[in-house]
């Protein structure tokens, strides 16, 4: 009796397994196409989110950099006022250095304005180089301010 029940259960299990695997090719293709469509939709959503994140990053970076450059413009104006009260020799030297700083500041502003947000593939290298140049520009300002004190 036990053997009979065992063979009956085993036979039913095997029959169920075989019937389960007998899915038609058309059904398999349809299921695969549905999975591909879902994956494409997920990929499109992820790409849109990535594009938005990059765009937001670029805009935030530009805003912060523009604020730094505006501060440098303000500092240049203050330096010019202080230099105007100096003797001729010191004023000439400081005006020359300040003109260089003003030129650098203008170039940084122009580079930032010229960067096109559509060049996202170049964003990382632009940001790295621009940050480096801004640090050098900041050092030049601090050095000038140190000389001036």
83 vs 12: which has the higher pLDDT: 83
φ, ψ for residue 64, nearest 5 deg: -65, -40
Predicted confidence at residue 136, as pLDDT, reads: 92
49 vs 121: which has the higher pLDDT: 49
Q: Let me know: does 134 contact 65? Beta carbons within 8 Å.
A: yes
What pTM, to 2 d.p., does this model score? 0.66
* Over residues 109-136, mean pLDDT: 87
- What residue segments make up the domains of the chain, in order of their start? 37-148
For residue range 76-122, list pLDDT tens digits in order: 888 888 888 888 888 888 888 889 989 999 999 999 888 887 777 78
- Whole-number mean pLDDT of the chain? 83
The full DSSP string for 32-50 is HHHHHHHHHHHHHHHHHHH
Distance CA 96, CA 102 (A): 10
């Amino acid at each position: 009796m036990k053997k009979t029940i065992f063979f009956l259960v085993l036979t039913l299990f095997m029959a169920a397994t075989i019937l389960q695997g007998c899915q038609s090719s058309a059904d398999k293709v349809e299921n695969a196409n549905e999975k591909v469509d879902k994956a494409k939709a997920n990929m499109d959503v992820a790409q849109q989110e990535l594009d938005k994140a990059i765009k937001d990053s670029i805009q935030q970076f530009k805003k912060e950099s523009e604020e730094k450059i505006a501060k440098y413009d303000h500092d240049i104006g203050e330096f010019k006022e202080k230099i105007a009260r100096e003797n001729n020799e010191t004023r000439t030297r400081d005006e020359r250095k300040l003109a260089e700083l003003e030129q650098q500041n203008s170039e940084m502003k122009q580079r930032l304005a010229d960067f096109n947000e559509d060049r996202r593939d170049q964003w990382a290298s632009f940001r790295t180089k621009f940050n480096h140049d801004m640090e050098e520009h900041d050092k030049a300002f601090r050095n000038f301010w140190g000389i001036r004190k």
